[in-house]
Structure 1
Amino acid sequence: MNYFADLHIHSYYSRATSSQLNLEHLHSWGQMKGLRVIATGDITHPKWLAEMREKLVESAAGLYRLRDDARTTQREVPDACASDVHFVLSGEVSTIYKKDRVRKVHSVIFLPTFDAVEKLQKTLDRIGNIHSDGRPILGLDTRDLLEITLETDPRAQFIPAHIWTPWFSVFGSKSGFETLEECFEDLTPHIFALETGLSSDPPMNWRLSMLDAYTLVSNSDAHSPAKLAREANLFQTDLTYDALFNALKDKKSDAFWGTIEFFPQEGKYHMDGHRKCHSCTTPAETIKNNGLCPVCGKPAVLGVSYRIEELADRPPGYTPPDAKPFKSLIPLPEVLGEVLDVGPTSKRVEQLYHHLLQELGPELDILMKRSLSDIRSVGGDLVAEAISRMRDGKIEPIPGYDGEFGIIKIFKEGEREKILQQGSLFVRPDSNKVDTPNQATFEKQRRQKVQDVEREYGLNDEQRLAVEHRGTPLIVQAGPGTGKTRTLTHRLASLIETGDAQAHEILAFTFTNKAATEMRSRLEKLSGDDAKRMTIETYHAFGAAFLRQQESFFERDDKFQILSPIDSPVFRNELARASGEKISRSTLEKISFLKAQGHSPESAQEQMGERAKQLSAIFAHYERLLADQNAVDFDDLVNFPVRLLLQCPELRRALQARHPILAVDEFQDINKAQYELFRLLAITARDVCVIGDPDQAIYGFRGASAVYFNQFTHDFPQATSIRLKRNYRSAQSILSASLQMLGRNEEQHLWSAMSPEVKVHIEVSPTDRAEAEFVVHRIEQHLGGTTFFSLDSDRVDARGAAEEYGFSDFAILLRSRRLASPLMEALTRSGIPYQCIDDSASAPQVFAHFIAALLNPRRHNDAELFEEMKNHLSVADVHEFENALKELVEIDLPSIFDWLVKNSKQDEEIRFLKKTKELARAFGDNKDQFLDALMLQKQIDSLERADRVQVLTMHASKGLEFPVVFVIGCEDGIMPHYLPGQPLDVDEERRLLYVAMTRARRHLYLTRAKKRALFGKEQQQDPSRFLTAISAHLLQYEQRQYKRRKDNQLSLF
């Protein structure tokens, strides 16, 4: 059977598509076009799946037809066109991610059954947002998307979409790869076909020998039903899912005849240029201009012709021996528009179009098969002549560029009274005089690709002083972006290299597990295997390991468990029963604050007096309860080692002898107990180095204090002090604004060799929702658009985007998670993937407690554990839960995690459990070490630098950096942050904003809203007092009201 198939379209659930892209209109338009197989499009969208299940029934193995009672538009189909139309389940997915540089790739996925589609949706829904757009945007490696597809169903198929499109394709000039192997790696053999796109045709692709192994297919990528079949595929095989794809996989078979093509010049990315500059250039002209637009001087958007010239290894005109046939056509409405000298969507064209279909049959038959005499008898001489010229290739193309579709002219001047596009505003090349540059020219003048990588640099003078210093304790004050971690790791590597230290002697304290991992990684590059023999830990991890080595201590033994009472409802309930008092989170935070200062219940009451009597009583019950459960909290992990070292000189001397080389990162963030542990080790150490920045001390509410910077010089009066002043992270405008806000002298504190580039933006929005929309707009602009709609609707300006950003290059920083809701709604609505993180214990901490209870023989009461877990697990009642527990305690850790994943309710928790299962494997049978690592995890430690926008609290952003940063809610009451009944530390709040601002490398946005919904009501907001200290010349104010643009169908013309 011969039939045409259009295998890549969209539904009305995709952005910027026609509301008529429903199954009914696809069915009728497919008949009018002459298609027998049409893709459904958008299989990743849950609502579209529900509609397909309702209206489609299987017609052949893996293909579907519209139910008879759903064919409500069949009356619109001329009798001469009526035929059977079958649907294949397919959809396009957009992936934007970092792989050497930012990649933006579109792919089309095919599945044979609705169950397989549902399975794919469940997997992708855990990765990103599939509900906002029929073509979802995922922060996922395309190779991994292919793997997920293959794992979904053994008959699943995967085709890279429009492979040459500059912005969103596997070979695109803006964000593509040089080879398929770079993109798909080990899974490349699973790629069998490539979609060439509207802006190229088979002869252009034949010039690349690396594509010889692949079948070239062409599809319409229709955003409205009328655009179906503008490109299509001709098959000569059975009408089944497997037969269709087997034909594509066997290049030697005649089952796939070839393709129906657009004239490639009509494609909107055929040539180079700038749409807004009205400038279109050939590849040769672009090279002469060094890749720049001749009008504005910024980098031109390089089209498909340029990119093919760049990668081609064959001359124009080469035809492979096994090349499939193709035929270039002009859509019939465009032919009729030129004939009638009107637009292709005019009423006159519509009337003539339907008259021809009624008399002659489907559009593809008219364009390819019907005799010119038949066409002349129905449509007249001019229609017949136009189709004759099209069939012979006698056309005058005006090529498309930078998102502007080209125009294919059939009649020359003088052959019609008017010529379309007469007096065009666009400067376009004469297509008959297109220079073809040779390959040597491309090799010599190959455009330079922008890589967003860390610039390699040597140690500056101040860093070198710190690295080479010996003889006295060293305190290094290192502002943001001054190379703090680089300096510290080079210093430790230098100590080993010069023989001043053995690797096993080194103990380095970090503030987070993530920082410890980064430090180890850097030291492995500098010192090789020596790095593995160093002890690089957080205070809590070091303390836990130290206590595990003690047979008994303070009514505990070495099988103790680590608890987070603040995150454990069961512990709170037990404490309430023991104390007879209601236990709030605030009460537990106060106890933790006191313990961080080294207080016991008795000493706390002595210091705080009568007002602390009730708290001290609860504190005493708290301590008793932990001891009875053979448990410690996080504060005990530091306090108990300090007490043991003070009480046992032999233990202290042994530990001091083990680690005579001591280094501390983020010294400004340690509390009294941590400083005491450090001091006990440092007083006998051979080499001591601490590094940090008092201006970034932001954890006073936890008992941390920058006062220990001064305490260090008091306890070690011979210490040497060095200040690092050169910033390698941020543009100078960002540094200057940050220092002014903090009240510091710019020259004395920080300087950057990076040019200001742009001013710091201050955005004033009418509401918090408008503020969120502003953020989404700016992200899309910096990305160069997340979708074709963003580019084609002028929502972003593609000109000269020298910066290449992925989603993970953006951070939105919040003083409180209470501000997150409008942002998350706006990001979700726009299909932008994101993750929301704070610096608290890991969000699914409840699972950590549950696993600890399973593995610890003194686990909590089953009924109370059920109460804690019932909102997280799909278990009917406590009896079912108890039965499950009996089975779980008898199985291994991986099997426990499999059960939890199966029974968990929330996607975030499922991701946490899968990741934690991998963590468990690393510890083997050592359950105690695994539980320690699990309990000591914080959200920020598990931050995935996946391709998602990071929505972070300002505290959680510490230690991170991003090219583009938005600081949200720069308003009084938020910055500084007021909480009723809580003391306000204005200086620490100012330092916190300083930390947030200095996370930015290139672009910093400080935004505020005039009205904001807080605590259940809308409030008028005043600007933050902190911003008044910033000089006006560093700022760019923008005050606009953003209205979301309606997603309309885009016209081709």
Structure 2
Amino acid sequence: MRATAHTGRAPAPVLDAHQQVVVDHPGGPLLVLAGPGTGKTTTLVESVVERIERRGLAPSEVLVLTFSRKAAEELRTRIGARLGRTTTGVLASTFHAFCFALVRRFDDPELYADPPTLLSAPEHDVRLRELLQGGRETGRVEWPASVRPALATRGLAAELRGLIGRARSLGLDPADLVDAGLRHDRAEWVAAGQFFAESLEVLDQQHQLDYAELVHRATIVASDPVNRAVLRRELGFVAVDEYQDTDPAQVALLQALAGDGRDLLVVGDPDQSIYAFRGADVRGLLRFPAQFRTRSGQPAPSAALRSTRRFGSTLLAASRSVVRPLPVPGSLDHDTFLRFREPASVAPPYGDGRIEVRTFTSPAAEAEHIALLLRRAHLEEEVAWSQMAVLVRSGVQSIPRLQRALSAAGVPVEVAGDEVPLRAQPAVQTLLRVLRMAESVAAGRSRQADHRPPTSDHRPPLAPADVEALLTSPLAGLGPAAVRRLSRALRDRDRTEHEGRRPPLASAQLLAAAVTDPDMLAGLPRDAHGDAQRAYRIASLVGRAADRLAADVPVEDVLWEVWDGTDWPRRLQRSSEAAGATSRAAHRDLDAVVELFALAARAEQRHRHRGLGAFLDEVDAQQIPADTLAEQGVRGDAVRLLTAHRSKGLEWRVVVVAGVQEGSWPSVRRRGTLLGTDLLGPDGELPALPSVSELLTEERRLFYVAVTRAQQRLVVTAVRGAREAGEQPSRFLADLGVDVGEPEPRPRRPLSLRGLLSELRSRAEDTDDPELRVALARRIARLAGSGAVPAAEPTRWWGVAEPSGTDVPVRPAGEPVALSGSAVDTLEKCPLKWFLSREAGGEQQSTSAQGFGSIVHALAAAVLDGEVPAHADALLSELDRVWGELQFPVSWASAAERAEAGKALDRFIAWHAADRGRTPLGAEVGFEVEVPAGADSAVLRGSMDRVELDGDNRAVVVDLKTGKNAASAADVEQHAQLGVYQVAVRAGALDELAGRPVESGGAELVQLRAALKSGAKVQHQPAPGDDQPLPADAQLARAVVTIRDESFVARTGPICGHCDFRSCCPAQADGRTLLGEPDDAHGTGTGPDAP
């Protein structure tokens, strides 16, 4: 694109001496080294102005190339403003846009009568998968046996795209790749070269190009002697920004355009070369002086910009510490490079700046503290939301989690739509669910008409969770409570209509059927009538879409039927015109829907009437975000949340670099591939594999980019958790020169209206001062009356409304309540946690810590059973045999925990061999026994780690513990699990094993990770005296009453520190209700027994 016309002229900026040297360069090639904030864009713009206004070049003789549309647009705007006149001849463009225009101009006019379709990376993956599938069926390409099992996978298509792209960036043809495979005995390259040639033929026939192929063809066009002469006559000055991001093909293109000593200005920073994974090669910058020589044959000169205006001395010093370990290239002028590496801070906009490094006990604590510091910066320091950013290493892993946390805390957050795959966008997921339902309905109708059974390739219907997600989406507008009412009404009617003839269907199954059969929603009870009407509209929409599919209309038309079939588009449009978070979410959804329609249109253009199934497969196959060439603008006043890669070239007053963890940043694992993409070098040779040091250098550059985005305040965060969790801060944090304090837990109160409400309620409840309580109540009433905090309305508070109930008891009446020792313990500490984990199915997956305990327990039982000798060598050999089954996030955590397991087994052996005057009776002894529990009864079930008989033939139950924290003496006396074991022994649980009735001789904990000089720490719970009750008797009675009454209240205590349900707990300040209310409309419980 060309720069647009301007009225008036922007004043010339004041350049420093180093910038002026660049602008005054008399001509020929020049390399400019420019670090963060040194004014490289200003220098480049002024160099263009110099050529046009003082050296007589026509605007059409100037070409400026960069790597993003946003950067190109900024250059066009600034050049036009400086010249102050119509400058349609100045071309400021991305490399790919310029290549596209070049190919269309010089190549066969009949071939490009219509512009070719440029495939984004996700689209290219899909096309390659389709070609692989076709090749498998025809057998045209002979893939080696090592690759054949992966031919149907998405991963291989992505690897092929990477290998083909690398070959093209190196200037290699398919035959060159085949030859490289033959020379280096790599059969996969031979097959890939053959596939490469075939894919080019097919894509040419379909008028499609990927970006690597586009640059390759543009280079061929520009290198033609006739075309090269034309282009060099037309171009008097070429400038390139971000030169460190070029690949060999782009360097070859520049050689054709401006080689042989012509006027060429390139600006770059080798320390910010972070796109090697996309083919960028920093060696292009390092070799520039030798590759682009002057007319006299001398190496091109270089210059350095030495004044940074982005940040002050504190931030500058930290950035210098980060970059200092990077190597000093020998191919550049040594003095120039050293001057580039040591810039001075000149007139920073916010003083010296400040830097903080903070660690947290968990990812949740990290996210909540980030939200807190952003809110404080906005409220207390008056930093605009748009002047703050949160940067992460991996968008897929970190952005969704942080986006949820920031939004929940009331922080407006903006995530570029192309940071996440299209298929992961919420609005797209909603539309795709309807399309899948319609496809299922249409296929069912067709089979029914033809009396055909489902085929093996029939797409399964939506899972119940997807059906519920669709009904609670903005398209349908039902809330979770409405879905439950509707499910209950359908289940009740099904039970009534089919009683005695078949068992009632599950409510989820009925709900899924109703959404595809509107007739099922007729005649429901009055209380579900409104819910049924909304569901009926969705079911009708699915039916209409199925009708369109049956009529064989294009996918784009079916998609329009779904999109336009409700008032959702109108609601989104209205929301987009509002302000705040609602507007941002609406814009995000509208952008995603537009991209989905564009993808459907492109799919139809490529393949007429491919069908909905193929389109859904294509969307599902898009595992990566779209190319940044299609990047979308940022709207409104919001915090940017983006990857460090996307942050290059941007700046904010406050920057948080989050999740800087060892093992992920830096990630120094060599990213090997099945096809060996990283092994392909220039001319098809095999380069040396990158060393750990080289991988670390790439990661350090990325960290350097991240920490140099801040103008005023830089905050770097990490998690320092338990060693077995593998969460440790990155080694890079030490380079910042800032002391790192102890890891911080989750904040006590959020800095929000919700947090204020929680504080007011807590103070009002705790105070004994009646005047203070009235004053606090008045403030709560003021919040409630404002309408801004719905949770301040007392009728919404937990415990005010009547407890919810059900016709089906948690445990059948008239039958003993089944309990285990751990269940009684949890019910004592927090009934709500017991219910959520045991009854609601919210228990988290097993962790490496649980696996650690399971292995140690199993080996201890094997020793007692005689399966493994009680010797360290034998036990450690068995430990090593099974240790690899455990999953750890990083290898060092596995090694550390393996060492701890060895120590625990050593302590077990010492304890096992000690003479305690007791005889082993059994290990892993299972039991089930009915016992009285107050006025009720319970069935106790469980397994005892070890049982021994003491000198009085009483049973002593041993519980082996592998946790890090031992119980206190007072806790052992009241230990519910040990007490339940003793109650079970008293009730005869071990009589059959012992061959006679046995009494309890007490129970004990053996702490295998709490060392004493004598070995493992043993904590004993004594047996009760004659006719004396155990503490567990009362605990059992209370547990049974709790379950019978269904009084599952939340209780605070030490258990809260590692509870999986803290975020939805009414007894916690950071707990939220599940009512789906936005922002500050969350209820807050207080006190030790908040219901």
Q: TM-score range by the shorter chain?
A: 0.3 to 0.5
* Structure (1/2) with the larger strand percentage: 1
**TM-score (normalised: structure 1):** 0.47
TM-score (norm 2): 0.45
